[in-house]
């Protein structure tokens, strides 16, 4: 079962939402700018129709959802100093291990 949805001429979507759908679902939209949702999981036409509807709603919901902008963060000064101190301690430990003890009799 195939479900078609004309994204460009849809009165239920705002221009911004249409842009999101066109950009995010470009693999599901053909040259005629019609969104396709296909389902062939079962032998029953009614079940496939329902599965195609569910798939269509899922695709549209994910495409229209706005993702929050990521805010850049910095490592605090205390955290940097702590990491440097750990690094120094690790370096000291390794140099102590590598010192050769002379075993002259």
Contact 38, 66 (CB under 8 A): no
pTM above 0.75, yes or no: no
The residues pairing with 37 across neighbouring beta strands, listed in sequence order, are: 3
How far, in whole angstroms, is CA 52 from its chain's centroid?
A: 23
Residuewise pLDDT in 10s, the chain (105 residues): 887 888 888 888 888 888 888 888 888 888 888 888 888 888 988 898 889 889 888 888 888 888 889 999 999 999 999 999 999 999 999 999 887 776 765
C-alpha closest to that of 59 among 104, 20, 12, 98: 20
Contact 59, 7 (CB under 8 A): no
């Amino acid at each position: 079962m195939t479900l078609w949805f004309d994204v460009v001429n849809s009165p239920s979507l705002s221009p911004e939402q249409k842009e999101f759908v066109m950009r995010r679902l470009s693999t599901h939209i053909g040259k005629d700018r019609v969104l396709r949702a296909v389902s062939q999981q079962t032998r029953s036409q009614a079940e496939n129709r329902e599965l195609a509807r569910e798939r269509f709603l899922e695709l549209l919901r994910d495409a229209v959802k706005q993702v929050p902008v990521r805010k850049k963060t910095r490592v605090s000064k205390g955290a940097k100093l702590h990491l440097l101190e750990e690094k120094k301690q690790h370096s000291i430990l390794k140099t102590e291990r590598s010192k050769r003890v002379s075993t002259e009799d």
